[in-house]
Amino acid sequence: MIGAAYNRLAQGVTWVRTPRHPSVGVHISPWHSYRLRKATSEADSVVGAYGGHPRGIRSHEWPRCEVCSAPMCHMAQLDAGAWLDLQGFERMSLFICHATGGRCEDWDPWKGANKVILQRVRDDNLYDGPPTVRVYRRVRLTVDPPIDEAALMRDVKERGLPMSRVLDALRHDKLGGGAVWLMGDDTPQSPSGKGPMRLALQMTTDIVTFDITRGGMAYAFIDPLDATDAAGRLVWQGG
């Protein structure tokens, strides 16, 4: 169950893909993942950031919790590129409600207590936002070279490599590939009824101690069948 997305891969199930945005460059398979790390030198190409004040979010765009109405806390912003297919959008920003200590069920992708904002324009300006109960420290992120998770799964299937060992090796912050679940498969299904959403980002509490319980993991998904800016969903599981 924990590697359910990988089981779908083993069964030959693939996701429907929308055409790539012309600026994104080379085609990467949805089974390539890029491990995220803290950018430490000027030579690192920056793909986004965790925490801090979000760029390009005007005050009227700042999401509020649909359960308690509080302004949500900013978690992360990731930019599209060879490392991340955002289906034509340029930037994905993640927000979560921390105002009620979990009573808003902020782990649920459908309750409105977290938010994935997809933007077509990459705007690096800082705009005023509302006060929030938590501001995470800003950490700029870079990526390692891609890992072909499909090849790893072939090693599981054909060479007897233990699945648990492969999943442990993928239990880190990453873009793309399959979701490594802590508690079983919570992949959001496309409201179109035509299958699962695609993993865009897997987050741990290793780089920034997000308030999703220590050892918790969060996952941002995109509905490949939804071309609108409402295609993103966030879900997390406690550690």
Q: How far apart are CA 79 and CA 91, in angstroms?
A: 4
Q: How far apart are CA 133 and CA 67, in angstroms?
A: 16
Stretch that binds Zn ion, among 105-113, 169-177, 186-194, 216-224 (CB under 5 A): 105-113
Stretch that binds Zn ion, among 26-34, 52-60, 103-111, 182-190 (CB under 5 A): 103-111
- DSSP-assigned beta bridge partners for residue 175: 34, 201
State the minimum distance, in angstroms, from the CB of residue 230 to Zn ion.
Answer: 19
Which lies closer to Zn ion via its Cβ, residue 108 or residue 148? 108
State the minimum distance, in angstroms, from the CB of residue 78 to Zn ion.
Answer: 23
Stretch that binds Zn ion, among 11-19, 31-39, 94-102, 120-128 (CB under 5 A): 94-102
Q: Is 163 in the site for Zn ion (CB under 5 A)?
A: no
Q: Is 65 in the site for Zn ion (CB under 5 A)?
A: yes
Q: How far apart are CA 233 and CA 239, in angstroms?
A: 20
Which lies closer to Zn ion via its Cβ, residue 86 or residue 104? 104
Contact pick of 10, 68, 182, 207 for Zn ion (by CB under 5 A)? 68
User: Residue 148 is encoded by which pair of tokens?
Assistant: 């072909």
Q: Is 67 in the site for Zn ion (CB under 5 A)?
A: yes
Q: What is the CA radius of gyration of the chain?
A: 17
Phi, psi of 33 (to 5 degrees): -120, 155
Q: Is 97 in the site for Zn ion (CB under 5 A)?
A: yes
Which lies closer to Zn ion via its Cβ, residue 103 or residue 214? 103
Phi, psi of 200 (to 5 degrees): -100, -40
Stretch that binds Zn ion, among 60-68, 115-123, 158-166, 178-186 (CB under 5 A): 60-68
Q: DSSP of 135-198, one letter per residue?
A: -PPPEEEEEPSPEEHHHHHHHHHHH---HHHHHHHT-SSEESS----SSS--PPBPTTSS-BPE
Residues of this chain that bind Zn ion (CB under 5 A): 65, 67-68, 97, 99, 104, 113
